[in-house]
Structure 1
Amino acid sequence: MLKKSILAVLTLLVLTACSNKKDEISTEDRAKVIEDGTVGFEMVGGNVEKATNVPAAEEKAILASFDEYIAALNAEDINRYMQSISKNPRGFKYDEEKTYAAEVFDQFDSKREVENVTIAKYKNEEAEVFANMTMHALQVETNIEHESAGRQVTVFVKEDGSWKVTSVYYIGDDSKSSTGQ
């Protein structure tokens, strides 16, 4: 039972910017969102195709915002993290996210490693950043370690001239997850 609850919490850790309300976006709804082209990416031989319509300056700004989002999560700095989040996000509520993230930062020591960071979709005021992600976490109270891996699409919107996280979609790879002491 403890392992299952830790896995559930750690899945939420990976999603941190995804809302702590389980019933808000179901797996089925996420699949529909991806199928209808609202959020998603195409894979070619295991690689994500890079969007070809991203202006160079915007690409640099979007990737810098993604790097800051990950760095803020890894630093477990609530103020820095919340600066990377849209004030009007889709899929979660800003104030609830701040409370939830602070609780997670208190309960876990976690680090995220990202690879294959690619802007997979771009529109004038929105960008989808794909990344392979591995998360290492230690539950402070129990000293139980967990590692999980998966693919994440982080959706950014341009807000007051800066790129901010508005939603996150994550698909875990159970074959690369482990829990231990």
Structure 2
Amino acid sequence: MMLKKSILAVLTLLVLTACGNKDEDLTAKEREKVIEDGTVGFEMMGGEVEKATNVPVNEEEAILAAFDEYIAALNEEEIHRYMKTISKNPKGFKYDEEKVFAEEIFDQFDTKRDVTNVTIAKYGQEEAQVFANMTMHSLQLETNVEHDSAGRQVTVFVKEDGAWKVTSVFYIGDDSKSSTGNQ
């Protein structure tokens, strides 16, 4: 039982890989403050996420391509490729610590993320927020324990040297869609 709890804790962190993430258990008042500050420009709980209407076509393509590359690099567990998707000056985590953390996770787990409902929910010339429903399938290599989890993620991108880079990630898990089992 203790093993399953520790694996679940690690996997929750793994979902967030690019995150010294913001706390997902914010009070309503704290959540309003985050939204007012522009950290997340919409409510992540319940309901449908509306697509931002002010996104130029070329920027939409660039942002979605950056998001796809971020997910692909994580799924392929390619550390150098992954770090190229990350801002050098992130808001939600520390760049150097993220590299060490990601390397450790890549060594210990085989993880694949499936994303659906990918939507640019907020757009500005220097920052964009991409919402996605995410399902993660993980296998802890040492124990051969599998874990599936699902949730909603907002990946915040900033424009850096003409390219969109991940600066922070917000994730809310759906405990009803999580499972752990042995293979």
**TM-score of the superposition, structure 2-length normalised?**
0.91
* Residue 65 (structure 2) pairs with residue 64 (structure 1): yes
Equivalent runs, 1:85-124 vs 2, <5 Å: 85-124=86-125
Query: What is the rounded CA distance, in whole Å, between the counterparts of 1:125 and 1:36 in structure 2?
Result: 17
1:31 match? 31
Equivalent runs, 1:16-165 vs 2, <5 Å: 16-19=17-20, 25-26=22-23, 27-28=25-26, 31-36=31-36, 38=38, 39-41=40-42, 46-165=47-166
Query: What is the rounded CA distance, in whole Å, between the counterparts of 1:60 and 1:125 in structure 2?
Result: 15
Q: CA RMSD in A?
A: 1.9
For residue 91 of structure 1, report the CA deviation from its aligned partner: 1.5
Structure 2 portions without partners, runs of 5+: none
The number of aligned residues is: 177
- 8 Å CA contact 1:40, 1:153 repeated in 2: no
Q: For residue 2 of structure 1, give the secondary structure of its aligned residue in structure 2.
A: helix
- Residue by residue over 1:105-151, the C-alpha shift from the partner in whole angstroms, topping out at 9 and shown as x without a partner, is 00000000000000000111000000000000000000000000000
Q: 1:172 to 1:40 in 2, by over 3 A?
A: farther
Taking every aligned residue pair, what percent have the same amino acid on both sides? 75
Query: What is the rounded CA distance, in whole Å, between the counterparts of 2:147 and 2:101 in structure 1?
Result: 20
Structure 1 portions without partners, runs of 5+: none
Q: For residue 55 of structure 2, give the secondary structure of its aligned residue in structure 1.
A: coil
